[in-house]
Amino acid sequence: RTVYVNGDYLPEDQATVSIFDRGFLMSDGVYEVVSVLDSKLLDFGGHIVRLKRSLAELQMDNPLSDDEYLDVHRQLIEKNDITDGLVYLQVTRGNPGDRDFAFPPAGTRPTVVMFTQSNPGLADNPAAKTGWKIISVEDLRWGRRDIKTVQLLYPSLAKMEAKARGVNDAWLVEDGKVTEGTSNNAYIVKGNTIITRALSNDILHGITRAAVLRFANEAQMKVEERSFTIDEAQNADEAFVTSASAFVMPVVEIDGAAVGDGKVGAVATRLREIYLDEMR
Ligand code: PDD
């Protein structure tokens, strides 16, 4: 695979970053994941807007222009012959030469890394037909989940807990209310109403979330942006999650209890279809 690091395209085994890079030592970096279907990027513009916001919130320089980011994405898709899959993009605060809690001096070059992951048949993921089972765990992440940082240890632990319990993912719960999934936004459906937590610093402002809510509104579905409990979700008609890589993924079981009739719901199925139709 050919990857990108700081301006160079290299075979992955020749691409290197310093051990003093703040991304490595301090998780001091941000990232984006953009899906590729039929060799085309999905919602690239939305992801770049959020990348710039994440960088600004952490007072990190933005090393490339929008066009440069787009060019690297396109070149990597081409060089790696990606039809379906994703492009991963990471910007860290770079290499100050030593370990120090204080940020490095202005002008220290951020480290930019991009690579592709091929995933043939991504849009036809069979899991969308059967749905995910999930568990709930306490949300023990930091308080700025709106910034897409590479500080992903807690979501990884939650994913491992889900795997150990034989299910697909975990929903994170804070003060009795669901925040989001380990790497996706969480929704329930009651009747014809789609319910999802309102945007704040408590959750990532999903690019897929924004698109799905826009399509739901256009299709005259009702949307309520408010928090909900696991109990309310278990008693809802449907549940689902959204992310750049899962698109719209139905959730059929929460902490061992079937959601609705325990089958993939009509609203989630329709939203997935609309999303894939509109985005390609
Ligand atoms: N995760 N919430 C969290 C905590 C996430 O990590 C993600 C994305 C989302 C959905 O955001 P979007 O629709 O913009 O992908 C919500 C990516 C896919 C990942 O970490 O791989």
Query: pLDDT per position in the chain (280 positions), as tens?
Result: 999 999 999 999 999 999 999 999 999 999 999 999 999 999 999 999 999 999 999 999 999 999 999 999 999 999 999 999 999 999 999 999 999 999 999 899 999 999 999 999 899 999 999 999 999 999 999 999 999 999 999 999 999 999 999 999 999 999 999 999 999 999 999 999 999 999 999 999 999 999 999 999 999 999 999 999 999 999 999 999 999 999 999 999 999 999 999 999 999 999 999 999 999 8
Atom of ligand 1 nearest to the CA of 88: 21
pLDDT score of 252: 98
Residue bearing tokens 């789609």: 194
Query: Which residue has the CA at smallest separation from atom 2 of ligand 1?
Result: 184
The H or E element that residue 211 is part of is helix 207-218
pLDDT by residue (tens digit) across 78-106?
999 999 999 999 999 999 999 999 999 98
Determine whether 166 is exposed, middle or buried from the number of CB atoms within 10 Å of its CB (0-12, 13-18, 19+). exposed
User: What pTM did the predictor assign?
Assistant: 0.97
Q: How far is CA 191 from CA 187, 226, 236, 266, in A?
A: 13, 16, 8, 11
**Among protein residues, the one whose CA lies closest to atom 8 of ligand 1:** 183
Q: What is the pLDDT of residue 145?
A: 98
**Contact between 87 and 76 (Cβ < 8 Å):** yes
> Which residue owns the Cα nearest ligand 1 atom 3?
183
Q: How far apart are CA 88 and CA 47, in angstroms?
A: 11
Complex ipTM > 0.95: yes
Sign of the C-alpha dihedral computed for residues 138, 139, 142 and 148 taken in this order:
positive
Q: Which domains does the chain have, with CATH numbers?
A: 2-122 (3.30.470.10), 127-279 (3.20.10.10)
Is 148 part of the annotated catalytic residue set? yes
| Ligand 1 atom index nearest CA of 208 | 13
Q: Which of 79, 129, 133, 148 is catalytic?
A: 148
CA of 27 to the centre of ligand 1 (A): 17
Q: What is the dihedral of CA 226, 209, 29, 154, to 10 degrees?
A: 60
Q: How confident is the model at residue 219, as a pLDDT?
A: 96
Could you please report the per-residue DSSP string of 130-192? H-EEEEEEE--S-S-TTS-BS--HHHHHHHHHHHHTT-SEEEEEETTEEEEESSSEEEEEETT
Identify which of 119, 183, 197, 242 to mutate to test ligand 1's pocket (most ligand atoms within 8 A of the CB): 183
pLDDT of residue 254: 98
Q: Ligand 1: does its nearest atom lie under 6 Å from the Cβ of 180?
A: yes
pLDDT of residue 224: 98
- The pLDDT of residue 209: 98
**DSSP states of 57-98 as a string?**
HTT----S-HHHHHHHHHHHHHHTT-SSEEEEEEEE----SS
Pairing between strand 222-225 and 193-196?
Answer: parallel
Which tokens go with 124? Answer: 């036809």
Q: In what order do the strands lie in the sheet with 85-92?
A: 8-11, 2-5, 111-118, 85-92, 29-37, 40-41
Q: 101, exposed or middle or buried, with CB in 10 Å at 0-12, 13-18, 19+? A: exposed
Atom of ligand 1 nearest to the CA of 155: 4
Nearest-angstrom CA–CA distance, 186 and 220: 20
242 ligand 1 Cβ < 6 A: yes
Q: With contact defined as beta carbons under 8 Å apart, do 167 and 137 qualify?
A: no
Task: Please report the pLDDT score of residue 201 as a whole number.
Answer: 98
Alpha carbon dihedral 57, 245, 202, 160, in 10-degree steps, equals -120
Tokens of 270: 């329709």
Give the nearest ligand 1 atom to 203 CA. Answer: 2
- β-sheet bridge partners, residue 113: 5, 90
